[in-house]
Amino acid sequence: MLIPVANNIADMNSVYTLNESGAFIWELIDGKRSAGEIADALVEEYNVDRGVAESDVNSFMSDMSKYLIINI
């Protein structure tokens, strides 16, 4: 679950719930890893096709950017 915080106040009107793979991706977004590296980790952790992993990572990052949670 992600809860935006501004000025030390939680915005409970904008709570985001993540599934297991979304939480895994979120943990790896650190500004140092590329989307490709995160996709590689997703393939290793969940044994999914590389193309599916890339699509999932790109979609996740796009959604998080759209909601101003991350900058890409």
- pLDDT per residue over 48-57, tens digit each? 999 999 999 9
Could you give the number of structural domains in the chain? Answer: 1
- Per the domain annotation, does 57 fall within a domain? yes
Question: Would 35 be classed as within a structural domain?
Answer: yes
Average pLDDT, the chain: 89
pTM of the model: 0.80
DSSP-based three-state secondary structure for 16: strand
DSSP 12-55: TTS-B---HHHHHHHHH-SSSS-HHHHHHHHHHHH---HHHHHH
pLDDT, tens digit (0-9, with 9 covering 90-100), for 13-30: 777 789 999 999 999 999
Domain enclosing residue 24, as ranges? 20-72
